[in-house]
Amino acid sequence: MQFPMDFGVVSMIRRTILAVGAHPDDVELGAGGLLSDLAARGYEIFVIVLTDEPESTAAARRREEAISAFSMLGIGRDHLAFAGFADGFLQVSRDSVSKVRDITSEWFEVPDLVITHSMSDLHPDHRAAWQLTAASIRNTAILGFPISNSFLLTGFQAAVWYNVHKQEQIKLDALRNHASQIELGRISPDRSFTFHRDLGRLVGQGPVELFDLNIPYDSARSEVFLKQLLWSGVCSGTEIFNFRAGDLLMDGARHAAPLTVSTFHK
């Protein structure tokens, strides 16, 4: 089925997407392919990196790596903010919420979509990043991405996926900017695609960036936007949408495979 509204028309309206990561490489790892695709389609992407490492030289180096990585994804320096919270100590509080709102108020009133960590994550900063993002932007649908080394597989509800092979080279090139993390063995751009392949098996696909979805009650505008993304074929969705979002499932969308350990592990 063809979505009746051509995306060339939609692109005349300002469409804003906020991506939030706990650490300087998280957003690229979790959603770099999707974001580069959306940026190329003319969507305005804004990114907040929440924490910095305590040592100032390392912190500065990681910021530079993130700036380079995001520029390769099509996200410029003026669309990227570093909130400056301490790595390992991220918390949801009145102060941290106001800091995030101060940043986003310079960019938009309400974004069309938020992308951040999944709640199914064992890293305390990643979990806090989800909570802080949701507490700061309360009326927008949130896609949550897993990070391989802290992913809590059981309980994760696959909702939306992006076939990342479409942007594989751009994503790999972006991740290679995080040289400090590659040197320390914390990330491996090539191995990240092993994770995407495993995520793809959860939904019967090849390598995907996979997201869970949280929809606040008061987010109708955002739901329409998400529906457009699915209808236009940028992303695909599973059948977990319900309530008002029940008709988000478009023709041709695949049902999610049962989420069991045996389907996930090789």
What does the binding site for Zn ion look like in residue numbers (CB under 5 A)? 22-23, 26
Pick 26 or 212: Cβ nearer Zn ion: 26
Shortest Cβ 109–Zn ion spacing (Å): 28
DSSP-derived secondary structure for 152-203: --TT----EEEEGGGGHHHHHHHHTT-HHHHHTTS--HHHHHHHHHHHHHHT
Shortest Cβ 119–Zn ion spacing (Å): 14
Residue 139's CB is within 10 A of a number of other CB atoms, namely: 14
* Residues 106, 138: Cα–Cα separation, whole Å: 17
Residue with tokens 């490489």: 25
Shortest Cβ 26–Zn ion spacing (Å): 4
State both tokens at 253.
Answer: 């969308």
Pick 125 or 198: Cβ nearer Zn ion: 125
Pick 145 or 225: Cβ nearer Zn ion: 145
Pick 46 or 145: Cβ nearer Zn ion: 145
Nearest to 192, CA basis, from 6, 57, 32: 32
Shortest Cβ 66–Zn ion spacing (Å): 12
Shortest Cβ 52–Zn ion spacing (Å): 12
Nearest residue to the partner Zn ion, using Cβ: 23
Contact (CB, 8 A) for 137 and 45: no
Pick 8 or 185: Cβ nearer Zn ion: 185
128 three-class SS? helix
